[in-house]
Amino acid sequence: MESSPSASQNPAELSSPSLRDLASHGALPTPAQMLQLRQCLSDSGVLDRNSTAPLSWDVLPRNLDRRDHRARVAMCVREGGRAICHLTVGPGLGDLWKRTQDFAQACPSIACRPFFFASIDGLDFLAVEFFEGHSLEAWVSSGRMSPQVALAHAIELFKGLESTLENSSADAVRSELRAFFDQALESSAFGEVDGRFLRAFVFPLIEKGALSCPARSCWSNGDWVARNILIDEHGRRRLVDYEFAARTHFWQEAGWRWCTFSALPAEMLRVSSFAPDDSSSAWLESYFLVRQVVLAHENSIAPRAGLGALSWLDRLSAITARAWGEYESSYFLRPLSISERTRSLEQVAELNRVISDREARLESTQRELERLRPELEHLNDELKQVRDQADAVQRDLRGQLAVRSDKIARMQRSFSWLITSPLRACRRLFLE
């Protein structure tokens, strides 16, 4: 697996303020952007055209392990104390807007309503309904909701996705698989040996399993995990995060995402309503693992993506080895030609070579990541010190500015007295 730390650790980018920094200090949105956003809010019906109430912009937390955490910021827009929308700001939000609209149209009962999309001064502004709720994980971890009740909420939301199920065709399944395979092979997450491994063993396993199932497609938000399920105090539910929302033939992959990334009690993880059955386990988990390696590499900072991918690739190798090992032990029972038997043995031998090479490269990558970890921590500490110093300098400058402003005001009053005092004296003499 290859990585590109420079993509997420550009010194020039780290030294400049992020959009979150600008928003936290009141510099985003700018006054000009505020005027246009107020107009967009009025046009979309979110804000009354005659309203003169001030708007506030509360910065919301985001995952700092994402590559785009500096180039994107999320805010809650409030009119007075009332939340009126969730606003995402950053460059290149057009694809997210399209996916948000499409998902809301397909699943209106479980999605947040999209309000507007606008490009202002080089930045995109994407507004959707702000849902006043807490994540399923937060409800359960705080003890305010039992696992049984929380699971019932999740199952109801999943039924909203399943309601979009449609019959499809084997050709459509192959088409989606080709696009998926091409995306994986084009990703720099996999090296040349990885590509050979995927083409020879993993992709055939996934394709055979996918084509053995009934061809059906379904809408998914692309990240079915407990933290993306919001529930309010009245029991209303929403499924959020539409960055990877799409209609897919592999919607049951949601079960693997739920089990892997949801911080929930063990009894809530293996849910028959959306967990894959044993018959589809190997190929569907392989699909999930390949997809996760690609997504993590494209969207997470390099050290995090690298560390996470090690265990996923180990698991992928184990699944594939087991699947092909079963094939190796059973193919003698079937009538095959000598050439077919030889080719099968060669494939198994190649698999063993690839796995051995994979293990050696994973160990090398692990050592390299461990070597880079102190350097990254040191850089993070330096960045924190620089930001603290910048804040201190900013406070000092503001203090100096206040002192100078006060001094100028006093000088102006003194100057006014010097000018007007002789005039008043002359006026008294003239009147006398």
Segments making up each domain of the chain, as ranges: 16-130, 133-369
For tokens 């620089």, the residue is 386
pTM of the entire structure? 0.75
Transcribe 3-32 into DSSP letters: --GGGT--HHHHHSPPHHHHHHTT-SS-HH
> What b-and-e string marks burial along 195-228, b requiring 16 or more CB atoms within 10 Å of the CB?
eebbeebbbbbbbebbeeeebebbbbbbbbbbbb
Convert the pLDDT of each residue in 104-132 to its tens digit. 999 999 999 999 999 999 999 999 999 99
Give me the pLDDT at residue 338, please: 44
> Among residues 150, 151, 146, 93, which one has the least CA distance to residue 123?
93
Mean pLDDT of 412-422: 61
The residue ranking higher by pLDDT, 327 or 388, is 388
Cis peptide leading into residue 276 (ω within 30°): no
- How many CB atoms sit inside 10 A of residue 137's CB? 17
Ranges 173-182, 270-279, 311-320, 343-352, most confident: 173-182
Transcribe 374-392 into DSSP letters: HHHHHHHHHHHHHHHHHHH
Both tokens of 220, joined, read 């998914």
Residue 149 has pLDDT above 90, yes or no: yes
**Predicted confidence band of residue 399 (pLDDT cuts 50, 70, 90):** confident
The residue ranking higher by pLDDT, 108 or 429, is 108
Residue 12 has pLDDT above 70, yes or no: no
CATH 3.90.1200 fits 133-369, yes or no: yes
Contact call for residues 136 and 150 (beta carbons, < 8 A) = yes
Weakest-pLDDT range from 45-59, 68-82, 126-140, 349-363: 349-363
What are the residues whose beta carbons fall under 8 Å from the beta carbon of 148, sequence distance 6 or more?
A: none
Contact call for residues 310 and 366 (beta carbons, < 8 A) = yes
Residue 30 has pLDDT above 70, yes or no: yes
Residue 43 has pLDDT above 80, yes or no: yes
Q: Percent helix, strand, coil in the chain (nearest 5)?
A: 60, 10, 25
In CATH, what is the architecture of 16-130? 2-Layer Sandwich (3.30)
Convert the pLDDT of each residue in 271-329 to its tens digit. 777 765 655 588 999 999 999 999 998 998 765 555 567 788 888 888 888 887 665 44
Contact call for residues 269 and 154 (beta carbons, < 8 A) = no
Contact call for residues 12 and 196 (beta carbons, < 8 A) = no
Q: How many CA atoms, within 13 angstroms, populate the side-chain half-sphere of residue 401?
A: 6
Convert the pLDDT of each residue in 192-246 to its tens digit. 888 988 998 999 999 999 999 999 999 999 999 999 999 999 999 999 999 999 9
Q: What's the start-to-end Cα distance of the chain, in Å?
A: 98
Both tokens of 432, joined, read 């006398």
Mean pLDDT of 46-50: 93
